[in-house]
C-alpha cells in the first residue's frame, strides 16, 4: 500500500513539473515580448532625447545660443548670401526652420525650381543626389506643418514662404516640412496670398535672388548649372543686438514706476518778537545792540 502511494505521489509530481514547464514556455514568450517592448521604449526614449522639444519660445538654456523672437538667418548660396528675418506670429514654421538650419539639414541642397519673374525654390534633401533628379521637389523630413496663413504677411518681393502640395492632394494647405521659396516678383505672386504660409522676409540680398532667378533652366525649371545652398545659419551679431533690444523693451514695460513722495511743505517759523534794538554811533562806525 505504501509502495502504491509512493508511486502515485511520484506520478503527480511529474505531472505537476510538466505543467510548470509548459507555463514556463508561455512565460518565456511573454518575457521575450516584454523585453522587446522595453527595448523599444528605451530606443524611443533615446530618440525622444534627440528629438527637439516643442516649446513656445525660441530661447534655449544657454544665453550664447538664445535667439530673438524674430531671428535673422543667412542663407549662404553659391551665388551670394540672402539674409532673412523670420516672423514671430508664424511660430511653427519659424521654429521648424530654426531646427533644420541649425542641425545643418539644408547644407549642400539645391535650388531645384527657378522661375525668372516668379520665385526660387529649394530645401529638398533629394537634390543632393543627382540619381534622384526625377524626384526633386518631393523630398522632405517626413512630416508636414500646419498652415499659419497670416493675412498681414503677403507675397512681397523677397518674402520667405513654405512650399506645399496643391489643393487636391492637400486640402488643409499643410506646408512642406523643409521646402521653401523666395519671391522675386510680387506682382506675379499675388494669387498666392492667403494660399501659402509666408513666415519671413528678405532684409538683404535681393540682388542675389535676382541673380539666381536669371540662370538658364531646363523645361522643368531646374537650373542647368547647380545653384547650391551651402549652409543656413543664424547671424549671431544681429540676433544678439535684437535680443538685447527685446530685453530692454521688456524691462521698460515691466519695470515698476517709483512712487513720488509728496512734496514737503516747509512750515514757516512763527514770527518771534524782535528784541528791542538801539543804535550807537562811534566815530565812523554804527553799532547796533540789544537793549537790556
Residues 154-174 pLDDT 10s: 999 999 999 999 888 899 999
Indicate the average pLDDT of the chain. 79
Lowest mean pLDDT among 16-20, 23-27, 30-34, 183-187: 30-34
291: CB partners within 8 A, 6+ apart: 275, 276, 277, 278
Strand partners, 84: 73, 202
Q: Where are the domains of the chain?
A: 63-247
d(CA 93, CA 150): 12
Q: How confident is the model at residue 36 (pLDDT cuts 50, 70, 90)?
A: very low
Please, which pLDDT band fits residue 49 given cuts at 50, 70 and 90?
Answer: very low
63-247: what fold?
Answer: Cyclophilin (2.40.100)
Handedness of CA 113, 174, 91, 150 (dihedral sign): positive
Q: Which residues contact 154 (CB under 8 A, 6 or more apart)?
A: 186, 193, 198
* Other Cβ atoms within 10 Å of 88 Cβ, number: 14
Give the pLDDT of residue 66: 87
Distance, in Å, from the CA atom of 70 to the CA atom of 84, rounded to the nearest integer, reads: 10
Rounded Cα gap, residues 48 and 45, in angstroms:
5
Do the beta carbons of residue 177 and residue 143 sit within 8 Å?
yes
Q: b/e map of 18-45 (b: 16 or more CB within 10 Å)?
A: eeeeeeeeeeeeeeeeeeeeeeeeeeee
For the chain, percent of residues with pLDDT exceeding 90: 60
Amino acid at each position: 500500500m505504501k509502495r502504491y502511494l509512493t508511486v502515485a505521489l511520484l506520478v503527480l509530481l511529474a505531472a505537476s513539473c510538466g505543467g510548470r514547464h509548459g507555463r514556463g514556455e508561455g512565460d518565456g514568450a511573454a518575457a521575450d515580448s516584454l523585453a522587446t517592448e522595453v527595448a523599444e521604449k528605451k530606443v524611443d526614449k533615446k530618440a525622444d532625447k534627440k528629438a527637439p522639444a516643442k516649446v513656445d519660445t525660441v530661447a534655449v538654456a544657454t544665453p550664447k545660443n538664445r535667439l530673438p523672437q524674430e531671428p535673422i538667418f543667412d542663407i549662404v548660396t553659391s551665388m551670394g548670401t540672402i539674409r532673412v528675418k523670420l516672423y514671430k506670429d508664424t511660430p511653427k514654421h519659424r521654429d521648424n526652420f530654426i531646427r533644420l538650419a541649425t542641425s545643418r539639414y539644408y547644407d549642400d541642397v539645391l535650388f531645384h525650381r527657378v522661375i525668372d519673374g516668379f520665385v526660387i525654390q529649394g530645401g529638398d534633401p533629394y537634390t543632393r543626389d543627382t540619381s534622384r533628379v526625377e524626384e526633386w521637389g518631393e523630398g522632405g523630413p517626413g512630416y508636414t506643418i500646419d498652415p499659419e496663413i497670416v493675412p498681414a504677411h503677403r507675397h512681397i518681393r523677397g518674402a520667405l514662404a513654405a512650399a506645399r502640395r496643391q489643393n487636391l492632394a492637400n486640402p488643409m494647405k499643410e506646408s512642406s516640412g523643409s521646402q521653401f521659396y523666395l519671391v522675386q516678383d510680387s506682382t506675379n505672386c499675388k494669387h498666392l496670398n492667403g494660399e501659402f504660409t509666408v513666415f519671413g522676409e528678405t532684409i538683404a540680398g535681393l540682388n542675389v535672388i535676382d541673380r539666381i532667378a536669371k540662370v538658364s533652366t531646363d523645361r522643368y525649371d531646374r537650373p542647368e548649372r547647380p545653384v547650391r545652398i551651402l549652409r543656413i545659419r543664424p547671424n549671431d551679431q544681429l540676433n544678439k543686438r535684437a535680443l538685447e533690444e527685446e530685453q530692454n523693451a521688456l524691462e521698460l514695460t515691466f519695470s515698476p514706476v517709483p512712487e513720488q513722495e509728496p512734496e514737503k511743505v516747509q512750515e514757516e517759523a512763527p514770527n518771534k518778537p524782535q528784541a528791542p534794538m538801539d543804535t550807537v554811533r562811534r566815530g565812523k562806525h554804527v553799532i547796533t545792540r540789544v537793549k537790556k
